[in-house]
Amino acid sequence: MKLSSHEEGGVMILEPKGKIMGGPDATVLHDQLHDFIGQGKKKVVIDLSKVEWMNSTGLGILISGLTTLRHNGGDLKLARVTEKIESLLTITKLITVFENYDNVEDAIKSFS
């Protein structure tokens, strides 16, 4: 998995690319989310359009980011979720936990 990020209107946008399956790769996303929190950046959107698939390790990282951000007065929202990942979110009922937007712009606007 590769990871890039940028800021738009005070919201951090994370763009993972590839597969999130566990192992050393997965810690990169976890660490980046927790670095944002440490820097006081508490509004985060993860653009999942370039993630081929993820397993429960990836879902656990999303949950960890979500709960930590919410406990610190922020939030984590998802954008451009692929069909495969949406199916996993549905199976695990996490679709009821995450706010999920069709595009990054709408996800950013939802913070205002």
Partner 1 sequence: MAGENKNSVSITVPSGPEQVSVVDEFLENHLRERKISDDIIADLAIAVTELVNNAIKHGNKNRVEKKVIVCIVFQNNKVEISITDEGDGFDPETIPDPVAEENLLKEIGRGVFIVNSLMDSVEYSFPSGGGTRVAVTKKIV
Binding positions for partner 1, rule: CB under 8 A: 19, 21-25, 52-57, 59-61, 63-64, 66-67, 84, 88, 91-94, 96-97
Transcribe the chain into DSSP letters.
Answer: -EEEEEEETTEEEEEEEEEE-SSHHHHHHHHHHHHHHHTT--EEEEE-TTEEEE-HHHHHHHHHHHHHHHHTT-EEEEES--HHHHHHHHHTTGGGTS-EESSHHHHHHTT-
Structure tokens at 97: 């936990």
Compute the least distance from the CB of residue 59 to partner 1, in Å: 6
Closer Cβ to partner 1, 7 or 31, answer by number: 31
Closer Cβ to partner 1, 61 or 108, answer by number: 61
Closer Cβ to partner 1, 80 or 108, answer by number: 80
Compute the least distance from the CB of residue 4 to partner 1, in Å: 20
Compute the least distance from the CB of residue 101 to partner 1, in Å: 20
Closer Cβ to partner 1, 57 or 100, answer by number: 57
Compute the least distance from the CB of residue 1 to partner 1, in Å: 9
